[in-house]
Amino acid sequence: MEQAMPSHDQSVLSRFESIANKLFSRDKIEILLFWSERKVSGNSWYTSDAMVNSSVGLQEHLDAHVSGLSSNLIIMIPQEYSWGRLCTTDSAFRLIMDSMKIFPSFLELTGAFGFKTNADERVFHGWRGCALSGQCLEQKHEICYNIQYVEKHGRKLKDPWSLRQTGVYHQDRGSANQSRWILINPSDVLKPQITGLVGTEAGKGNSDQDGTGSWALHIQLLLKLGSNWAEYIEYLGSELGAQNDKACYSRVDCSKDQSYTLSYADLQELHMLQAKFQTAEATVNSCLSNAKGCRIHLQAHAELQCGPRLNWGLIFHLFDTYEADMVGHLTQLQALQARLKSTLGLLTKLIMFRNEELLHTSNQASCKSLKALLDLTGQGKQQQETLNGLLWHGHADSAMLKALSVVATVCLPASLVATIFSSNLVQSRDPQAGDGDSRLVVSPQFWVYIAISLPLMGFVLIWVLYLGYKSRQAMSAKLKGVV
């Protein structure tokens, strides 16, 4: 009777099925195979490689090398780009799983790759292996883990580093002296070294020249991909140092000359730097977990002593060296994070104090401006009172002038009559003998006065009307220009 699948494996398979469309390409297959085999005659070895672009070709190679006498078989599955799908189809990947009879835990590791929208999506830390579940058998040993590392991306960005990952699966058949490897998204710097290293180690492991076998590839991968951590941490320290200089040497008094400018953007930059530190710490811890997982797995394999006897002391010494380096990196990151925390607190206080000082200065300037406005308002009131007095006097003068104008207008006919009678146009003639009272006699030249006065009055009237007309035309033209 077929044994039922454990519930954990069922949940892993269900999760894998739900994200398969994000993991694999629809029709693109670019799988690199590398294998090493012993020659028919003698103990020498030869290596070969092939690029597979179809499911049929993949099946042929798997039939030839998985169940054949190949010492080492490496399957490299790249990604289209950093967060792109794997360069294999779902069916081709299942061919590999079925041919090599890979344990379901490998699907958890595979789920960490494929198409993503952010770095926190489907993250895989730690390791999975048969030693973890106590199921190590002499026939087959399996382990998989995700190596996260930093690498320069070569693009023209402020931060030259990117966080990347390579999935590693190893299946060892000690009794048959066979190793099967799957590398998901291997780094470009690894590809020329992996082929030579595994081919060489396959021959050494079977001939027991140095006693490390193909197991040394684990520590070689960890060491190679972890070689950039020191430089990356140095870069993070330099970025933090620039902000720390601002925090230490900036003055609170904004009125004095400042060597550094502080703004909210500095706090944002420190926040992003803090996220990088946290990600780096988690990644280094993951690398330590991988090394410890490999050590546990190798220890379980060593206790079984299946296959050729290996020099476990040499292998474990390499792991000790790697773990010591990672612990050193972790300690350095923790120290830098403590420094970042103090720098962030100091910068926050500096900006807060500067803002308070600027607010105090602004309040003082506002008070001065308000005082000046009040002074101007007082002066305006005084001027308004003066203008009101002048206006009142103007109204009084206007009333007086109006009264005088009315009196002059009323007296104008009398003045005209008096003027005429006082002139030679109207004369008083003495009475002749026997006539009685004297009489007023109009001068024969009175018509001259009439003839001259009326035309002059008409000319003046016409001239006044003309000036009024021209004034109205000028005003109309100005109004049209404004509109």
Per-residue pLDDT tens for 180-221?
A: 899 999 988 877 667 665 555 444 444 444 445 567 788 888
Residue 219 counted as domain residue:
yes
* % of the chain residues with pLDDT over 90: 29
Range of the domain at 251: 10-358
* % of the chain residues with pLDDT over 70: 82
DSSP-based three-state secondary structure for 120: coil
Is the per-residue pLDDT at 113 higher than 80? Answer: yes
Q: What H or E segment, with its residue span, contains residue 362?
A: helix 312-422
Q: How far is CA 207 from CA 37, 316, 322, in A?
A: 13, 20, 27
Spatial contact of 149 and 185, defined as CB atoms under 8 Å apart? no
Half-sphere exposure of 168 (CA within 13 A, CB side): 28
- In this structure, the strands spanning 31-38 and 72-77 are antiparallel
Q: Could you tell me the two tokens for 443? A: 């001068």
Among the listed residues 120, 114, 112, the one whose alpha carbon sits nearest the alpha carbon of residue 147: 112
Residue 250 banded pLDDT, cuts 50, 70, 90: confident
Calculated CA dihedral for residues 323, 329, 331, 337, nearest 10 degrees? -150
Q: Dmax over Cα atoms in the chain, in whole Å? A: 190
Q: Could you tell me the two tokens for 474? A: 């000028």
Among the listed residues 77, 79, 116, 71, the one whose alpha carbon sits nearest the alpha carbon of residue 94: 77
For 229, counting Cβ atoms within 10 Å of its Cβ (0-12 exposed, 13-18 middle, 19+ buried), the class is buried
- What distance in Å separates the CA atoms of residue 348 and residue 339, rounded to the nearest whole number? 14
Highest mean pLDDT among 163-167, 194-198, 265-269: 163-167
Residue 171 counted as domain residue:
yes
Spatial contact of 143 and 128, defined as CB atoms under 8 Å apart? yes
Residue-wise pLDDT for 316-370, tens only, equals 888 999 999 999 999 999 999 999 999 999 888 888 887 777 777 888 888 888 8
- What distance in Å separates the CA atoms of residue 168 and residue 462, rounded to the nearest whole number? 113
Q: What is the pLDDT of residue 258?
A: 61
Torsion sign (Cα): 11, 14, 18, 23? positive
- What distance in Å separates the CA atoms of residue 261 and residue 270, rounded to the nearest whole number? 15
Q: List own/partner pairs for 318-321 with CB under 8 A and 24 or more apart.
A: 318/216, 318/219, 318/223, 319/219, 319/291, 319/294, 319/295
Q: What is the pLDDT of residue 210?
A: 44
- In this structure, the strands spanning 72-77 and 178-184 are parallel
Spatial contact of 174 and 141, defined as CB atoms under 8 Å apart? yes
Residue 50 counted as domain residue:
yes
**Higher local confidence (pLDDT), 469 or 67:** 469
Q: What is the pLDDT of residue 13?
A: 86
Residue 66 counted as domain residue:
yes
Is the per-residue pLDDT at 177 higher than 80? Answer: no
Calculated CA dihedral for residues 178, 184, 190, 196, nearest 10 degrees? 20
Is the per-residue pLDDT at 138 higher than 90? Answer: no
Q: How many domains does the chain have?
A: 1
pTM of the model: 0.71
Which residues 6+ apart lie within 8 Å of 328 measured at CB? none
Q: What is the pLDDT of residue 38?
A: 64
Which residues 6+ apart lie within 8 Å of 241 measured at CB? none
DSSP-based three-state secondary structure for 223: helix
Is the per-residue pLDDT at 135 higher than 70? Answer: no
Q: How many CB atoms lie within 10 A of CB 265?
A: 9
Highest mean pLDDT among 2-16, 122-136, 266-280, 427-441: 266-280
Residue 94 counted as domain residue:
yes
Residue 372 counted as domain residue:
no
Residue 423 counted as domain residue:
no
Residue 310 counted as domain residue:
yes
Q: How many CB atoms lie within 10 A of CB 9?
A: 14
Calculated CA dihedral for residues 323, 326, 328, 332, nearest 10 degrees? -160
